[in-house]
Every structure is written in C-alpha cells, then in structure tokens.
Amino acid sequence: MKVLSLFDGISCGRLALERAGLPVECYDAFEIDKYAVTVSKNNYPDIVHHGNVFDGDFTEFKGYDLLLGGSPCTYWSVAKKNREITSDGEGFRLFMEYVRALNESKCKYFLYENNYSIHQNIKDEISKRFGVEPIMINSALVSAQNRKRCYWTNIPVTSFPADKGILLKDVLESGIAWQDKSYCMTARYSGAIIQNSLRLCKPLSSAS
C-alpha cells in the first residue's frame, strides 16, 4: 500500500496500518512540527518527510492508495475563544489543502479526521467537499480517554470497534518515577508559559 499523510504528527497513521496488518510499501508525510517529525523519524526511518502542505505538489503521488489526514482543529475547537464557525477562516484554508491533495493525487481511498465539537457549519462544508457524511467514533471504546472524533471516508465501514472497557486505572503506572522517564512540553498556544509544564511535571509526593 502506498500512503500519503497530511498533518502527519508522529505518524500514528503508520502505526494504525501496522496494527491492522496492512503492508505499507511507502509512506510520504507532510508535517511542520519538528518534535513530531523527530518522533516519526525515530520510529519509522523509512518515512519520507516533505514539510509544509502549502508547498506540496501532490501530483507527485498519483497512483497512491490512501490519503490520511486531520487538519489542525485549533481554529475550530470549543476550547478557543471566538473560534471559527464558517468556512472562510484559517482552519478551513488548512483543510482545503487536504482537498487539494485528494484532487491532485487521486488517491483511491481517503480518511479525514477532526474534532466532534467543531461547529455544524464546518461539518456540513467538509461533508459537501467529500460527498460523504461523517462517522463519529469515541476513542473511549479502545482507550482510557473520552475523545469523540468525526471521520469522513470512502472506505466501506461495516462495523465499529467493540468497547474494550479500558479505564484510566488500567493505563496508569505505579511504583515508578514516571517523571524520570518522560518529558513535558508546553503547548504553543498564546500565553503558554514553561512554568505550567514544570508544575505539572512535579512528582505527586512533592507537589504543593
């Protein structure tokens, strides 16, 4: 399978395909976050990285089988004050790069994901571009987090994941100093400060 992935993050799409037992012949990714790219390269050195979606010539990927992607929901999220609720903002401009990639590459299949909480106006516009309605799946079915997401795809969907009954207590580690084996990074939102991350990274025993 030949895969083109936009807004690739740490290449979770590659991991999902791997777990599904689907062989990947080549995987080309567009991502600009240097930390995400570092993780991706460490886990999958064979992935070819192309940088910014706005610079992409997606005709280079004609003949590819699958287009993956989930454009940043930052501009559409309910967590953002004065979020965008129409298709004339930066959020939709990013989304349209996915549409451009689909049109130029003519990938046989596509899978696009975004936040369930985005405004209905946005959902309707996305559905109009793809010609399909979204499928909502809550990640709580297969993980310890309540995370509703919408998926637009032309892949035939005949069943949904079974609820594995995973709870937070099932994934929390005990008996180890977790802060010694992980790094905390401050999100790059307006007003973010490193002290917030450092405060969260304190061992529970010493937290004030």
Contact 151, 111 (CB under 8 A): yes
Condensed to tens digits (0 to 9), the pLDDT of residues 83-134 reads 999 999 999 999 999 999 999 999 999 999 999 999 999 999 999 999 999 9
Predicted confidence at residue 47, as pLDDT, reads: 98
pLDDT-derived band at 190 (thresholds 50, 70, 90) equals low
| H or E element at residue 28 | strand 26-30
Condensed to tens digits (0 to 9), the pLDDT of residues 127-160 reads 999 999 999 999 999 998 888 999 999 999 988 8
Q: Which two tokens stand for residue 172?
A: 């929390």
pLDDT at 208 > cutoff 70: no
Contact 150, 128 (CB under 8 A): no
Contact 9, 36 (CB under 8 A): yes
- Parse the chain into domains and list their residue ranges: 2-153, 173-200
Condensed to tens digits (0 to 9), the pLDDT of residues 43-90 reads 999 999 999 999 999 999 999 999 999 999 999 988 888 999 999 999
| H or E element at residue 93 | helix 90-105
Q: Which residues are catalytic?
A: 73
From its phi and psi, is residue 121 left (phi > 0), alpha (psi between -120 and 50) or beta?
alpha
Predicted confidence at residue 2, as pLDDT, reads: 98
Predicted confidence at residue 56, as pLDDT, reads: 97
Burial class (CB in 10 A: 0-12, 13-18, 19+), 54: exposed
Does domain 2-153 sit in CATH 3.40.50.150?
yes
